[in-house]
Amino acid sequence: MSLIQRNEELTSLERVGLTLQRKEVDRIPAIPLVCGASYRVLGTRYDKWSQDAEIATQSLLAAQELIGQDAFLLLVDLSVEAADFGQELIFPRYSTAYPDFNNQYIKKPAEYEKIKKVNPRETKRMKQVIDIIKGLSKEKGNEVAIMGFIYGPLGVLSQIRGHKDLFVDLIKHPEEVLAAVDVITDVLVEYAIAQVEAGAHAVCVDPLYSSGTVLRNTTWEKFEGPYLKRIADAIRTAGAGVAIHNCGGGVYFEEVIKWADPVAISVAHPAHGSKDWEEHAKTWGQKVITIGCSDPANTGLVFTADEVLEDCKKQIDLFKKHDAGFILSTGCEFPPNGNLLNAAAMVEASRRYGRTSK
């Protein structure tokens, strides 16, 4: 049973779907991005959770029963795809996996040609995510929204090459980078389709470098924009919705919408060109659904439950004021070792303050 007494007019799936269509719902959906943090509900370890589809599936189901969030997000870690292209990873016992940066799969520009196509349905880690989606779909696919997750092709490449060296290569070896991005994109297209076939109602793509804190907008467009479009088009053709996640500062909403045309964008900070959330809601609230924007560190590690309620109320009121499309969420993944009761408090905030029915 959830910690919260439920008396809902819609299922979570209906609530999220109608919100994305800008139709009337009973309340604003609440989706704290509880991904890896779910490992703690069943008392397992993070390294086991992130390498075992059955453990992850059962943990996510148990966490959703506890917290009551309106969607699952299938973010395991940002190294899932890179591992299947050959990058060695480190799996901490109680935290997120990451590449072995002392042993990058691509050590010099001439090695970009090592990137070869793989079948995500047969690889170790991407297949694991597909299997988790299948498990969630079987158990909750008619009740709770399932959002797949894919790291954008440039992000995947950065995990394999290393961020610093990749950024140098964007300038000195652009053709080699683009060739590798092209191969990765082909695989990610198939990965996206496989997630939809497994039961994902939408797939969230993370083009992390489409923000002012990382790359210029023109640079990002050159190296990832057209490739993002290929992935987004494949998701829509497969019959699912397209969402974007980017927790960087100053996300390029205009350019991302141009290339991906998503129904929603998940962010931690106001869009590029917006000085605050008020301006963000005015500018983008009628153009795309914003998923956000609770600070995950504060929400998961600092705030009391009452402070979470207060913080979420401010967000809900602001977006309501501008009649802006909004789904209450953390701006990035809920901390793996954060206070899960605060995630439940976010859902409670949507029930108390997010009523929208007339």
Residues with Cβ within 8 Å of 144's Cβ and at least 6 positions away in sequence, in order, are 11, 12, 13, 64, 70, 71, 72, 136
Res. 2: pLDDT tops 90: no
β-pairing, 264-267 with 289-294?
Answer: parallel
* Model confidence, pTM: 0.95
**Are 296 and 96 contacting, i.e. CB atoms less than 8 angstroms apart?**
no
Surface-to-core class of residue 272, CB atoms within 10 Å of its CB (0-12 exposed, 13-18 middle, 19+ buried): buried
Dist CA 192 CA 135 (whole Å): 17
pLDDT (mean) for 39-46: 95
pLDDT tens figures, 66-102: 999 999 999 999 999 999 999 999 999 999 999 999 9
pLDDT tens figures, 238-288: 999 999 999 999 999 999 999 999 999 999 999 999 999 999 999 999 999
Res. 234: pLDDT tops 60: yes
pLDDT bin (cut points 50, 70, 90) of residue 5 is: very low
User: Six-digit token pair at 9?
Assistant: 């007019």
**Are 202 and 243 contacting, i.e. CB atoms less than 8 angstroms apart?**
yes
Question: In the chain, pLDDT over 90 holds for what percent of residues?
Answer: 97
C-alpha dihedral sign at 221, 224, 227, 231:
negative
Provide the pLDDT for residue 357: 59
Dist CA 291 CA 324 (whole Å): 11
Provide the pLDDT for residue 1: 30
Res. 205: pLDDT tops 90: yes
pLDDT bin (cut points 50, 70, 90) of residue 7 is: low
**Are 41 and 120 contacting, i.e. CB atoms less than 8 angstroms apart?**
no
Average pLDDT, the chain: 96
